[in-house]
Structure formats: C-alpha cells, structure tokens
Chain A
Amino acid sequence: NAGVTQTPKFRILKIGQSMTLQCTQDMNHNYMYWYRQDPGMGLKLIYYSVGAGITDKGEVPNGYNVSRSTTEDFPLRLELAAPSQTSVYFCATYPGGVTKNIQYFGAGTRLSVL
C-alpha cells in the first residue's frame, strides 16, 4: 500500500529558484493538506484542498501556490525560493465523512534554500 507519496525526499535550492513538491495518494481521499515544519517546531498548515478543483489558504501560504486538478495529486509550488522556506514539508490526506478523523501523512520532503 503506497498511501501518501512525496517526492523528492531531499532538495537543495538556490535563492530565487523555483520548484514543485509532489504529493500523490492512492486512497481516494477528498481532503489533502500541505504543512511545513521548521526546526524544533510543530507543523503549520500552508494550503489545503477539500476536493479536486478546490483549494484554500492555511496559516502560512505566502510564497507558495497549489493546484488540485485530480483527486490523487496535490503539488506545492515554490516560486522565488527564500532561505525562510528552508523546512520539512509534509503532505497529508483525510477521507472525509464519518471516519475516525485521522489524517495520513507522507514521509516528508526536506528542503534547504541556500
């Protein structure tokens, strides 16, 4: 069972470069999320989606963009990378409906901007 797959696992960017963090799920979950975790801190919500074609901002959306064209994929785009975006990024999913309200996390992407 693949679950939530994030690629790449590690990436180093130079200031001003752009990149896309990929997130794919095979559980047919409606809800998908992007979080960032700064060193020694908890996770903070960047963007989320309640279904294909619908996205909304979380707590820390500046410098990021997302799209949700399919149920399976929820890519996170970084434009003009800055050192402040050095962090570990987690993608998560949630099925919605009457469930145990558990989110399922990917393994994370460690990003360094130098």
Chain B
Amino acid sequence: AQTVTQSQPEMSVQEAETVTLSCTYDTSESDYYLFWYKQPPSRQMILVIRQEAYKQQNATENRFSVNFQKAAKSFSLKISDSQLGDAAMYFCASFQGAQKLVFGQGTRLTINP
C-alpha cells in the first residue's frame, strides 16, 4: 500500500518569515501526482499546490512552492512571507490508482504575530 508521511505534527513561524513543511511518500508507480491541502478551522479542504511527478520543475503558486525530490521521494512545501491566514492544518497527499488520494497525518501550522 502506498503511504504518505508527515513527520512534523506541529510547526510555528513568525509572521512574514518562511517555513517549510516536510513530506515523504512511497509509491511503486512511475506516474503520479502529489498535492498539498490546507484545512482551516472551517474544515474545508483547500488545494494549495500540485506537482506532476514527470515534471522536474518544482511547482509554485504565489507564496507557496514545493521542493520535489523524486529519487528521495520527498515533497516539501515552502510558505514565504507567512501570513496570519496561513494558520491551518496542512496535509500532503498522493494520487494513486483509481485516482484515490492517500493523505499524510497532517502538520498544524501556527503563525505568531
């Protein structure tokens, strides 16, 4: 079974600073997709960023970027210029067969003003 591991249960960062959330995954597939989802207290699952495994270039979305290391099966999320609204649970997920998402355990991000 495919697995996704987030080893940081909690992280905190000062407002306007940069923070990196870690994720590792295990898959036997050659083509797959990786995602970071944000879950604020409202519980809504919000897609932050996605990465196609066949693309070497790291994905970026405004202040959010990833460091995708395919050989190491690592997929970290960098948040630049952290804002109070970034406080949430962040989940790393992989897209596997039958388009099923496998989620990590989550990292709770706190932004200190």
Interface residues of A (CB under 8 A from B): 31, 33, 35, 40-45, 48, 50, 56, 58-59, 88, 90, 92, 94, 96, 100-103, 105, 107-108, 110
Task: Name the contact of B44 in the complex, choosing from A40, A48, A103, A108 (C-beta under 8 A).
Answer: A108
Beta-carbon contact of A42 and B103 below 8 Å: yes
- Chain A: which residue is nearest B32 at the CB level? A101
Beta-carbon contact of B50 and A43 below 8 Å: no
User: Given the complex, which residues of A lie within 8 Å of B93, measured CB to CB?
Assistant: 42
User: Given the complex, which residues of A lie within 8 Å of B35, measured CB to CB?
Assistant: 102
Beta-carbon contact of B43 and A42 below 8 Å: no
- Chain A: which residue is nearest B46 at the CB level? A105
Interface residues of B in 56-109 (CB under 8 A from A): 91, 93, 95, 98-106
Main secondary structure of the interface of A (DSSP, over half): strand
User: Given the complex, which residues of A lie within 8 Å of B6, measured CB to CB?
Assistant: 42
Beta-carbon contact of B100 and A102 below 8 Å: no
User: Given the complex, which residues of A lie within 8 Å of B98, measured CB to CB?
Assistant: 31, 48, 50, 56
Beta-carbon contact of B50 and A102 below 8 Å: yes
Beta-carbon contact of B101 and A45 below 8 Å: yes
User: Given the complex, which residues of A lie within 8 Å of B1, measured CB to CB?
Assistant: 59
- Chain B: which residue is nearest A31 at the CB level? B99
B61 to chain A, nearest CB (A): 13
Beta-carbon contact of A101 and B33 below 8 Å: yes
Give Cα distance in the complex from A102 to B47, angstroms. 8
Give Cα distance in the complex from A44 to B101, angstroms. 9
Give Cα distance in the complex from A90 to B42, angstroms. 13
Interface assignment of B11: CB less than 8 Å from any CB of chain A = no
